[in-house]
Amino acid sequence: MLPAESGRSLPAPAAESPLLEWLLVALKTMTRTKVKQILKHGAVSVNGIAVTRHDYPVRPGDRIAIGRDQGSGALARAGIAVAYEDALAIVIDKPSGLLTVATNAEKLDTAFARLAALLAARRSGRPFVVHRLDRETSGLLLFARTASARDRLQENWETAAKTYLAVVEGKPRPAEGVVENFLVEGRDLRVRAASPGGEAKRAISHYRIVAENRANSLVEVELKTGRKHQIRVHLAGLGCPVIGDKAYGAATNPAGRLGLHAWRLAFDHPDDGRRVELESPLPEPLRKVVR
């Protein structure tokens, strides 16, 4: 969570409640859309800390305020939203089109660089990479705040739960199941199913359809392994490529982006092992396709 500017104070909550639900009552003269926008841009502070999570718990005695101009502050300028932060871990909601870390082709504008600049502006140290998302995949991306926290998170990464939402062409059959095979990356950087052995790595995805219309389906995918392009290859193998994924056979791109979103993330905290569970709403361009 981020340091907040001072602003208009609100009455303390009478009972524990998720922040958004409480704000909708406290700011009943505002529309729901406006309240969500204020929250999204870090304009709400709880006990002096800016909070963007809808489900952040507020309690009696909490000091809650609306900042004067948080939306034009460092968080908005960075172009990223912080979903969770404490002294050892920080999770951002990465937009589609942004690399996680630098490559030979793009060295400057990355999620890591934006977050590093944000923390530097706050004099709050630097981030450490824990895992990665593809450039065109949006959603929850975890960084550590110290090298030792990174090491502990990576050591326990197999216990993390990573669940994605994918908008695909057609309807996978059966509507729920498990895809398990071996994947290998070719010299052309594309990933393909392969026989066991050599550089091929075992890959397991659990999937189920959660919504569908005539042309597309919204599929929930839980990763049991974390191979490169695993979801994209597995869904294409079911005959239902992710929309916008021309590399793996998609013929349509109704959202103008890859239809893959890192929806839920749960991990053991590197300090005390408590379970941290987070969720990022499906972006509107993808929601429209399967509405």
* CATH number for the domain that contains residue 225: 3.30.2350.10
The pLDDT score that the predictor gives to residue 218 is: 98
Q: Model confidence over 10-28: pLDDT tens digits?
A: 888 999 999 999 999 999 8
Cα–Cα distance measured from residue 145 to residue 72, given in angstroms and rounded to the nearest whole number: 25
Q: Specify if 249 maps to a domain.
A: yes
Q: Is the pLDDT of residue 108 over 90?
A: no
pLDDT in tens, 144-169: 999 999 999 999 999 999 999 999 99
Q: Which range marks the domain in which residue 51 is found?
A: 1-76
Confidence of residue 75 (pLDDT cuts 50, 70, 90): low
Please answer whether residues 216 and 290 qualify as being in contact, where contact means their C-beta atoms are separated by less than 8 angstroms. Answer: yes
Tell me whether residue 134 is one of the annotated catalytic residues.
yes
Kindly state whether residue 67 falls inside one of the protein's structural domains.
yes
Among the options 134, 151, 188, 245, which is catalytic? 134
Q: CATH number of the domain at 46, please.
A: 3.10.290.10
* Residue 250 near residue 242, CB atoms below 8 Å: yes
Position 287 in a domain: no
73's CB contacts (< 8 A; 6+ apart) are 5, 42, 67
**275: in domain:** no
Q: Is the pLDDT of residue 107 over 70?
A: no
Q: Per the domain annotation, does 286 fall within a domain?
A: no
- Mean pLDDT value across the chain: 88
pLDDT at position 106: 64
pLDDT of residue 2: 37
Is 70 exceeded by the pLDDT of residue 276?
yes
DSSP-assigned letters across all residues of 114-134: HHHHHHHHTT----EE-----
Whether 288 is covered by a domain: the verdict is no
Q: What integer is the mean pLDDT of 159-181? A: 97
Residue 121 lies in a domain: no
**204 three-class SS:** strand
DSSP 27: T
24: CB partners within 8 A, 6+ apart: 32, 35
List beta partners, residue 162: 223, 265
Judged by average pLDDT, the poorest of 1-5, 98-102, 247-251, 279-283 is: 1-5
DSSP 110: B
Count how many domains the chain has: 2
